[in-house]
Amino acid sequence: MIPDLTQVDRRQVRRFLKAIADGVPTDGLTSWVTVGEQRIRDALAKHLARVRAGEFLVRFMLGNPGSGKSHLLRLLASDAVDTNFATSHCTHDLQSRAAFNRPDQIYVRILNSLSIPGNVSDPLNEVLSRWGELALKSLPPFRRMGNLWQLAQLGLLPDASSIPPRTRVALLGYMMASERGEDDERELFVNAFRGDRVENRVLASELTRLGVAPKFIGYTPNNYDVGFYFRQLATLAHLIKSIGLSGMVVLLMKLRR
């Protein structure tokens, strides 16, 4: 879309020019200023359509320093937001330990940068809240772990056996605490989902207090447990789709060697 430049705030344009000169991706005029790279832009548009249709895709974008990788990722994020996707980004940064051998750190950054359409201050809470409402409306009143398998059949969760046991406890606990209006307990389960260090025994005892004693919760994930964090992220992507958004786009940048 061509912006009406006479209506654009002059200071915003100055900030934009400074940002692109520094190679720092920014919002606003990104789409308009982009030239060339039609092949990649077409491919990214097709990928968004495939994800909207329910596919899971991983794509690598390669380019020399300064070739426009960050700019194109920002463009993808902007297109994703315009078409009702949740977006998230993370930059590989050794100094702050967000490296690809630390899936726990990558996961936390992805969650912390999560953004959904609309002016939402805590997107994870919003996603869980909307999902919780739908889930509670769809279930019979009796709470048990089996509820999660029922929700999977209704399309509100992925196959429950693919969800890590700890995440299953967190989701059921979240629903039960919401149902009872116990805000502190609900926050505990949200924090477990967010990647905070909440021990499994704490989650299990809280769920037991709410009325369901989990038979198995597995182990508290360690820093390097790629499988756990990936499956929890896949669960989140499913929740995002179940509340009516198009899907989730995660952008990972490797800026420094």
Partner 1 sequence: MVIAYLPALFTQLVRDCSEFDLPYLDRWQSVLGPELLEVEPLSSSDKYELFGKLAKLHSVAYGWQASSKSAYLTVELVRESEKTSWSTRDFVRRSLVVLDKLEAAQK
d(CA 82, CA 64): 28
Task: Considering the complex, state which of residue 23 and residue 155 has its C-beta at the smaller distance from partner 1.
Answer: 23
Decide: is 162 part of the binding site for partner 1 (CB under 8 A). Answer: no
Helix (H, G, I), strand (E, B) or coil at 150: helix
End-to-end, the C-alpha distance of the chain in Å comes to 36
Given 30, 75, 76, 166, the residue binding partner 1 (CB under 8 A) = 76
- Segment contacting partner 1 by CB under 8 A, of 150-158, 159-167, 176-184, 244-252: 244-252
Given 1, 53, 54, 65, the residue binding partner 1 (CB under 8 A) = 65
Given 1, 54, 64, 140, the residue binding partner 1 (CB under 8 A) = 64
d(CA 169, CA 171): 6
Given 26, 31, 52, 61, the residue binding partner 1 (CB under 8 A) = 61
Decide: is 252 part of the binding site for partner 1 (CB under 8 A). Answer: yes
Q: Cα–Cα–Cα angle for 33, 34, 37, nearest 5°?
A: 165
Asked if residues 89 and 252 have their Cβ atoms less than 8 Å apart, the reply is: yes
CB of residue 257 vs partner 1: minimum separation in angstroms? Answer: 7
Asked if residues 10 and 28 have their Cβ atoms less than 8 Å apart, the reply is: no
d(CA 193, CA 232): 8
The 165-204 site mask, x for binding partner 1 (CB under 8 A), equals ----------------------------------------
d(CA 128, CA 114): 13
Decide: is 53 part of the binding site for partner 1 (CB under 8 A). Answer: no
Q: Which of 27, 37, 14 is nearest to 87 (CA)?
A: 27
Given 45, 49, 57, 213, the residue binding partner 1 (CB under 8 A) = 57
List contacts with partner 1 (CB under 8 A): 5-6, 8, 10, 13-14, 16-17, 20-21, 23, 29, 32-33, 35-37, 39-40, 43-44, 47, 57-73, 76, 249-254, 257
